[in-house]
A = this chain, B = another copy of it.
């Protein structure tokens, strides 16, 4: 496994060298984990300016040995700070300066202004440069090992959701259903939820990112659920909407069919080389043409991986194209204020048509189930 991380760091080093900067400081936790195999609390990664200079993981305290957190790549030098309370990023800049680096590329989209100033002050001979989102760009395309973690996470989420559907729902609160789903995720082997589980009933249903309340499930409600498992650090997402009781109302069937058609259009647009904004438009125009444009969220999907919301964004103003082996969500929804709504959300991996097209990771049925 160590080679994977060393290879990732070499690719980043090539980019840094090409950009004329030398050493780099990686502080965003998901980026640290991607390059170092683990991101102990507060740790930063100092990437040496060439292969001869060893990369260092600077940690405020010794990392816990906990399988779910990953293990730091053994080819890294582990540097544990001896001064309690010192910012590891400042310590790393200090190290870089004392090791003769003239420039240090930093993650300006992650460091606060205050930390940046402290870095700038610690090593007077060291010029700070911008690393940009270089690591995020490396993270876009996943290897099969990463996809396999997402696939297992999706299976776990499918299982947790499947079990919930077999239980009695009427009378239970959104908050309790969300907690039960999270317990089931852990039962089936997740490290934990990939993000706070969303359970939305009745007038809350269909709201993106709705946080559970004490509202109880009632007959006739739409129930929309969005959850995901974290597995070896990788985070997937599934969202489904159900109806409570035996026969959905006409407006419910109509709205459901519409969102389903939009979500299918989005899924079918997932081909290598497709512009991200075109995938978004495929889903969005189905809702727009039915007059639900204003009810839409800013994006109809996004990448997933070590973070639950990463690049690419499937949104109207998104730049860039999809590549094979990029996992994304497709999750259009409609929320009608006061009435509720529908969201349908899958995690899929972009694959060439020759390989059978997009790989659906979250396989729970998308029929409108009456529970």
A-side residues, CB < 8 A to B, are: 41, 64, 66-69, 84-85, 106, 108-114, 116-117, 175-176, 179, 182-183, 186, 207, 209-211, 213, 297-299, 315-317
Contact = CB atoms under 8 A, between A and B. Distances in A.
Q: Is the interface of A mostly helix, strand, loop or mixed?
A: loop
A84 B186 contact: no
A175 B190 CA distance: 11
A302 to B, nearest CB: 12
Contact of A108 (B85, B114, B175): B114
A41 B67 CA distance: 32
Nearest to A128: B113
Tell which of A41, A111, A114, A316 has the most Cβ of chain B within 10 Å.
A114
A33 B114 CA distance: 22
A275 to B, nearest CB: 17
Contacts of A211: 64, 66, 68-69
Contact of A112 (B111, B117, B175, B207): B111
B84 A298 contact: yes
Nearest to A86: B298
Contacts of A210: 64
A297 B182 CA distance: 31
Contact of A109 (B67, B85, B108, B112): B112
A211 B186 CA distance: 14
B209 A85 contact: no
Contacts of A41: 209
A298 to B, nearest CB: 3
B183 A213 contact: no
B176 A186 contact: yes
A319 to B, nearest CB: 12
Contacts of A109: 112-114
A182 B176 CA distance: 11
Nearest to A69: B211
A181 to B, nearest CB: 11
Contacts of A176: 183, 186
Contacts of A316: 84
Going nearest first, the 3 A-B pairs with the smallest beta carbon separation are A84-B298, A108-B113, A109-B114
Contacts of A111: 112-113
